Structure 1
Amino acid sequence: MDILHLLFNAVTVIFIATTMFTAGLGATISALWGVFADFPLLLLALLGNLAVIPLLGWGLADLLGLPTASFIALVLVASSPGGPFGAKLAMVQNGDVVAGAAMQVLLAAIGSLTFGPTVNGILTAAKVGGGVSLDVAALVRTVAILQLVPFGVGLLLRHNAPQAARSWHPTAIKVSNVTFLIVLVGMLLGNWRDVVALVGSLALLAGFVLAGAAFAIGTLLATGPTVRRTTMGSVAAVRNVGPALAAVGIAFAGEPAILGALAAVLLSGLVAALPIAAFLSRGRGSLNTHATR
């Protein structure tokens, strides 16, 4: 079981790094600058992901009357933006991959700093759980190593050796797709007992509704063409599991009930977000077209 766990972690790392590397290969510096120079887009994305969605998670948990473990899990997920699946969903919907990947990395980096205070504030105000203390430096390093570095390497390769980048791009996409499927299957097989145990509770519904609502919020709080706006929706819908898992391990002593609820919320969120992205891909051009705009 330990070997399978290690293999799953290794495949997950490959998936994250390859997905970000693929996004970098499809980007250009001018296109990237166009994203970061769009200050309204940045401000709206930060507002939605760092404030609106965490508050939505709190409100949803309170409205549904979730038990303590599920309440905490939903707040942890809602307060942690920048999940690497966001860039993958941008690819699935043939969206603006450059904008999606850039925003995802930015949100993951900033979210590493805001996660602890946000969760603390919500759980304290809701009088649920205890304080959350995290190693912020470790979270930032993780984001840099797994997301920022592969994206930067792909971007530099595209800038300095465009022919090589174009030839590597299809292979990188295939590796990203295969590892994506393996990670999904691994999540389902590894957590099916936790998910089944919560059938009949409202935790699965809460994760599903949170992801769908976050997709809508990310799309509405964005600027630019529809392709870019729905890409921001993808990024908002998929939250970053790293800080949430760290919080469970450090602040809640690896409480199994919270871990189970966390897995259920994350999986039900993907069940909501994936069909939306697949539906949006219909009638859109190739991935390369949107990735290089």
Structure 2
Amino acid sequence: MNALQLLFNAITVIFIAATMFAAGLGTTLPALRAVFTDLPLLLLTVLANLVVVPLLGWGIAALFGLPAAGFIALVLVASSPGGPFGAKLSMVQKGDVAAGTAMQVLLAAVASLTFGPMSSGILITAEVGAGISLDVAALVQTMAILQLAPFAIGLMVRHYARHSALSWHPAAATVSNVTFMMVLTGMLLGSWRDVVTLLGSRTLLAGFVLSVVAFAVGTLLATGSRTRRTTMGGIAAVRNVGPPLAAIGIAFGAEQAVLGALAAVLVSGLAAALPIAAVLGHNRHDSTA
């Protein structure tokens, strides 16, 4: 493994851990309790993100006839809810930020355990590649260490040392944002030939369609006001890049074609979700002006 690959892996680990630590610092136990106790919202959101969207990712990949790398990337992304940018979309659309952030954290925590079985089951059933499957036990262990542990630490700091948590949160969020851009840039640069070959391809279109459909599903399968429901739509549209990156490293040896397809799917997904959130935020600003 060369020095650049080691550096990329280190930055990826920092990104995942910093994102979950920042999420823990920014989450209160009452906010999590409010999500847990709203059973209709909880059950519908879990159904949308952990079952419906992964199955839609499989269906879209099959419908578009994606090649193996694109198929794998789309299924991994679809099976991984709880992306930190979901909370940012809540802010962009002037939505229910508290509920959105709490649900994003909850989904990321739960998906750290469900991602492996769901994505592995889909890939095995779809018979993509030459017997490709994920080491579920290794993936669950990796996600527990990289996601659940930092989140739990941040949550405890917020609960027992609130002032420290509030002072640390901006720095942790900055590290998360910067390392996310570094990871995305690294994927694009390291796999630029694969990304270029995907320009105008069905893989980019499939990522765009998945994000739009996930936004719609997340909105429809939610309860409460329109503001809260579209907030849940934004949470569903932005998936968590951490588990797919870990899966590619564990199961596919950081194969460049899969990394390139993953970068393409992520970029096209953000290109779909951000304008939707911006339009919603603009309309809400106009209605309150």
Structure 1-normalised TM-score?
0.78
Q: Please tell me whether residue 237 in structure 1 is matched to residue 245 in structure 2.
A: no
2:5 is aligned with 1:14: no
Give, as a single letter, the amino acid of the residue that structure 1 aligns with 2:150.
P
1:128-277 paired onto structure 2 within 5 Å: 128-129=128-129, 131-245=131-245, 248=248, 256-277=256-277
Identity of aligned residues (%): 71
Change (3 A) 1:224 1:22: farther
In structure 2, how many angstroms separate the alpha carbons of the residues matched to 1:178 and 1:21? 15
> Residue type matched to 1:137 in 2?
A
Q: Could you tell me how far apart the structure 1 residues matched to 2:180 and 2:283 are?
A: 23
SS of match in other structure, 2:191: helix
Matched-pair contact (CA < 8 Å) for 2:86–2:235: yes
In the alignment, which residue of structure 2 is the partner of 1:291? none
Preserved CA contact (<8 Å) 2:76 2:244: yes
CA distance in 2, matches of 1:244, 1:26: 24
Q: Is the 8 Å Cα contact of residues 112 and 140 (structure 2) preserved in structure 1?
A: yes
Aligned partner letter, 2:201: S
C-alpha separation in 2, matches of 1:49 and 1:224: 17
Once residues 135 and 153 of structure 2 are traced to their aligned partners in structure 1, the CA distance between those partners, rounded to angstroms, is: 26
Q: 1: distance between equivalents of 2:176 and 2:249?
A: 28
Q: Cα 1:25–1:134, aligned 2, differ >3 Å: closer, same or farther?
A: same
Q: Does the 8 Å CA contact 2:124/2:133 hold for their aligned counterparts?
A: no
Correspondence for 1:78: 78
Contact 2:45 2:222 in 1 (8 A): yes
Question: What residue identity is the alignment partner of 2:29?
Answer: I
The 1:272–1:243 alpha-carbon spacing in structure 2 relative to 1, beyond 3 Å, is same
1:120–1:174 distance in 2 versus 1, CA, 3 Å: closer
| Cα-to-partner distance string for 1:21-73 (whole Å, 9 max, x where unaligned) | 33333322112100111111221122112221122222222332333443343
Asked if the contact 1:130/1:251 (under 8 Å) is kept, the reply is: no
CA distances 1:167-205 after superposition (whole Å, capped 9, x unpaired): 333333333333343334333333332211112321111
Residues 55 and 171 of structure 1: is their aligned pair in 2 closer, same or farther, counting only changes over 3 Å? closer
CA RMSD of aligned residues (A): 3.4
Paired with 1:145 and 1:284, the residues of 2 have a C-alpha distance of 40
1:19-38 alignment runs, 5 A limit: 19-38=19-38
Instruction: State the distance in 2 between where 1:171 and 1:249 align.
Output: 28
Assess, with a 3 A threshold, how the Cα gap between structure 1 residues 101 and 3 changes in structure 2: closer, same or farther: farther
What residue is the counterpart of 1:289 in the other structure?
Answer: none
CA contact (8 A) 1:82 1:105 kept: yes
* Structure 1 counterpart of 2:199, one-letter code: V
- CA separation of 1:101/1:149 partners in 2, compared to 1, >3 Å: closer, same or farther? farther
State the AA in 2 paired with 1:138.
A
Q: Tell me the distance in 2 between the aligned counterparts of 1:163 and 1:252.
A: 43
Deviations 1:113-146 (A, max 9, x none): 5445544554565554455543333323333333
Contact 1:82 1:235 survives alignment (8 Å) = yes
For the Cα contact (< 8 Å) 1:19–1:87, is it kept in 2?
A: no
The one-letter code matched in structure 1 to 2:46 is: L
Q: Which SS does the other structure have where 1:9 is aligned?
A: helix
Distance change (3 Å), C-alpha of 1:230 and 1:127? same
